[in-house]
Structure 1
Amino acid sequence: MRPTRVEIDLSAIQSNYRTACLLAPRSRNLAVIKANAYGHGGVMTARALESQVPAFAVAFLEEALELRAAGITKPILLLEGVFNAGDLREAITRDCWVMLHGTHQLDWLDLLPAKTKLPGLWLKVDSGMHRLGFTLAEIPAACAKAAPYTDRLVIATHFASADEPDKPQTRQQESQFLSHLPDGPFEISLNNSAGLQLRQSRGDEWGRAGFMLYGYSPLPAPPALPLEPAMTFKSAVMAIRRVAAGETVGYGGVWQAQRDSLIATIPCGYADGYPQTARAGTPILINGHRAPLAGRVSMDMITVDVTDAGTVKIGDPVQLWGPDLPATEVAAHNNYNPYELLTRVSARPQRVYRQPPDAQSYKSDTVRGEEDAVIS
């Protein structure tokens, strides 16, 4: 069997969620599992966290329906909201909390049957991100329109530069947002993973823990936190060859050996989710030694210069990123966003899940067309 696979440590995700809660002990904290839990598997991640979280968050209704079909019962917030009135009705029947961001969506509330109550209604406010949301001036009217339709109203905003602590924009957004809130019984939500690590939370807040659930901080100089990378993208050496000085390796001959070199071929390429534009020199971990990528990434394979990596043989273990080679390091070497590395891992490699100790209540099943394995 091809050795390229993705191992997911569900205990690490649970531990990272507990860390997020410790950062905001007076808040309630959503677990953001959109985009298939940032590439980690939405269903399995939700099952691992369901006993700990008050609610989940995904991007849109279809992601929520996948979780409901798998038996997830906790409330699920739709961060992008809904795209038509029919989706709004469907969201209500599936116990989803809906984020509304425009007056056209408020008008859809009038199309609901009389006395309909949404289990949770969130209003997105544009405090400076300028992507989605009600303007600051629209907040009072939006709250007045939405309040009769729910017993849980949350007013939320999204910081544009929460991961850049030296920028004043976040403080400006927070000040603008808080100063425009009307009187009334509602809760607020401001903090994503970066905000949770930098900003003091209030008692009426909902935190939105996303990237940090999977073991990483979005901050350039993160605080010392016990975050554990949950994903290990791994493979094994499939071939080794000697290349003389002056010879080239890979498509286009863009990498040329500056000395007699030893090249290892790894069965993992961009069809598996390893970035096609990764630069020569990107670190790969082989037998615990960092070795540089040599040549272009192919669809199914990469080549690595293991000349200085000690003794290397066919079958030796390879870590493309994981606990011993953080995805943030791989991303930084290539000027990538590390979120992209995690979410772009394809369905091609088998997912193997390491169960947490309390996992007797659920087992793996077929998720997104892949037969997933569960190991203790």
Structure 2
Amino acid sequence: MRPARALIDLAALRSNYLLARELGGGKALAVVKADAYGHGAVRCAQALQDIADGFAVAAIEEALELRAAGIGAPILLLEGFFEASELPLIAEHDLWTAVGSPWQVEALAAFASPQPLTVWLKLDSGMHRLGLDVAGFRAAYARLQALPQVGSVVLMTHLARADELDSGRTAEQVATFAEATAGLDGQTSVCNSPALLGWPQVRSDWVRPGLMLYGANPLPQDSTLTSRLQPVMNLRSKVIAERWIEAGEPVGYGARFVAPRRTRVGVVAMGYADGYPQFAPNGTPVIIDGQAGETIGRVSMDMLTVDLTDHPEATIGSEVELWGGQALSLSELAPRCNVSAYQLPCALKRVAREYIGGQTQ
């Protein structure tokens, strides 16, 4: 079997969730969309279900997968429903749905729900993606409150630049949200991971931690709070071949690395088709059998190469850690490769996941 694998530490996941809820001071929806950012939505939800106030996903397909796995906690559809035909399933499986467009309000009004639904009404406070403007938000709130098929309305918005601690945009969005919700009854949801970690003055009844659940820092700098995050994924593989090359010889596509000395090259079963970034530069740190090492040459689809010259004990089968564990964190690796820490685990595929540190069911 191909040795590429990702170890998922469920104890670390639980610790990060509890930190998010502590910082929020209220209830927290664990965001497990996109297969829990590549960590496995079902296993992650199972590990959190006894402590989580609820979960959040992008679409109904993700919610139904969790329900089929026995997850009975509230599940919010962050993008709401894409077609009115989804509403019977939302009612049947007791899902919560975001509403951020006038047509969704009208679809709810036309739906004879067998029981009242929980709606999260979304304000566009400045992200300019999903959501209603202030006037539309207040009008939709009044309409929803009058519908017998709507049980409760949570007031929500999404922050576009909370990861920029020197930006005034977050304060502007919070002020717009306060204006839109003035005098309206209902719980609120504003805070995402960067808001929880970097904006203590911004809080809401419900928080929606995403990236921080998986132990990555969404902010540009570390802090006392971000140091409490525990990495959840440790990406590993093994050396599958090794050879010596002479000084002046290239390695890999495009000859991006040319040996400055006689060099022992190790080939690792990990490539960009697995989710490791294709353009990780020469010298990207890795851990080889517990010792500091580095990549050389361009990452290819199925393989990458490392320098084994100063690792005389390393051989076929030696373990290489790519991120997490003793290797670089997602937040450290991402900027070296000109990608985001969000993208790295979400791109993971063709890699076996192994779960440690908790009940996996």
Equivalent residue number for residue 206 of structure 1: 206
Equivalent residue number for residue 144 of structure 1: 142
Pick closer, same or farther for the CA change 1:270–1:207 going to 2, 3 Å. Answer: same
Equivalent residue number for residue 90 of structure 1: 89
The offset of 1:114, in angstroms, is 6.5
Q: Deviations over 1:133-191 (max 9, x none)?
A: 10012121010111234332111111110011111110111011112214232111110
Q: Deviations over 1:57-110 (max 9, x none)?
A: 000100001111111111100001111111122112111100011101101012
**Is the contact between residue 290 and residue 309 of structure 1 (CA under 8 Å) also seen in structure 2?**
no
The offset of 1:243, in angstroms, is 1.2
Amino acid at match of 1:158: H
The offset of 1:300, in angstroms, is 1.4
**For the residues of structure 1 that align with 2:169 and 2:202, how far apart are their CA atoms?**
20
- 1:176 is the counterpart of 2:176: yes
**Is the contact between residue 24 and residue 201 of structure 1 (CA under 8 Å) also seen in structure 2?**
no
**For the residues of structure 1 that align with 2:317 and 2:280, how far apart are their CA atoms?**
23
Aligned partner of 2:341 among 338, 342, 346: 338
**Is the contact between residue 269 and residue 300 of structure 1 (CA under 8 Å) also seen in structure 2?**
yes
Equivalent residue number for residue 307 of structure 1: 309
**Is the contact between residue 243 and residue 260 of structure 1 (CA under 8 Å) also seen in structure 2?**
yes
SS at 1:338 equivalent: coil
**For the residues of structure 1 that align with 2:348 and 2:188, how far apart are their CA atoms?**
33
Equivalent residue number for residue 371 of structure 1: none
Matched residues, number: 356
**Is the contact between residue 228 and residue 323 of structure 1 (CA under 8 Å) also seen in structure 2?**
no
Equivalent residue number for residue 8 of structure 1: 8
**For the residues of structure 2 that align with 1:47 and 1:316, how far apart are their CA atoms?**
33
Pick closer, same or farther for the CA change 1:140–1:265 going to 2, 3 Å. Answer: same
**Is the contact between residue 254 and residue 295 of structure 1 (CA under 8 Å) also seen in structure 2?**
yes
Structure 1 unaligned residues grouped into runs of 5+ = 364-376
Amino acid at match of 2:41: G
- 1:57 is the counterpart of 2:56: yes
Pick closer, same or farther for the CA change 1:344–1:229 going to 2, 3 Å. Answer: same
Equivalent residue number for residue 24 of structure 1: 24
Aligned partner of 1:324 among 323, 326, 332: 326
**Is the contact between residue 88 and residue 113 of structure 2 (CA under 8 Å) also seen in structure 1?**
no
**For the residues of structure 1 that align with 2:331 and 2:24, how far apart are their CA atoms?**
24
The offset of 1:317, in angstroms, is 1.4
Amino acid at match of 1:336: V
Q: Which moved more, 1:227-236 or 1:178-187?
A: 178-187
Amino acid at match of 1:288: G
Q: Which moved more, 1:276-285 or 1:321-330?
A: 276-285
**For the residues of structure 1 that align with 2:204 and 2:116, how far apart are their CA atoms?**
21
Q: 1:249-328, aligned counterparts within 5 Å?
A: 249-309=251-311, 311-325=313-327, 326-328=329-331
TM-score by length of 2: 0.94
SS at 1:77 equivalent: strand
**For the residues of structure 2 that align with 1:151 and 1:202, how far apart are their CA atoms?**
27
- 1:103 is the counterpart of 2:102: yes
**For the residues of structure 2 that align with 1:31 and 1:261, how far apart are their CA atoms?**
47
SS at 2:212 equivalent: helix
Pick closer, same or farther for the CA change 1:115–1:234 going to 2, 3 Å. Answer: closer
Amino acid at match of 2:9: D
**Is the contact between residue 64 and residue 78 of structure 1 (CA under 8 Å) also seen in structure 2?**
yes
SS at 1:180 equivalent: helix
Q: Which moved more, 1:89-98 or 1:144-153?
A: 144-153
Q: Which moved more, 1:2-11 or 1:303-312?
A: 303-312
SS at 1:152 equivalent: strand
Amino acid at match of 1:171: A
The offset of 1:318, in angstroms, is 0.8
What RMSD, in angstroms, separates the aligned Cα atoms of the two structures?
A: 1.7
Equivalent residue number for residue 70 of structure 1: 69
The offset of 1:310, in angstroms, is 5.6
Q: Which moved more, 1:166-175 or 1:148-157?
A: 148-157
Equivalent residue number for residue 131 of structure 2: 133
**Is the contact between residue 157 and residue 190 of structure 1 (CA under 8 Å) also seen in structure 2?**
yes
**For the residues of structure 2 that align with 1:234 and 1:299, how far apart are their CA atoms?**
16
SS at 2:181 equivalent: coil
**Aligned sequence identity (%):** 43
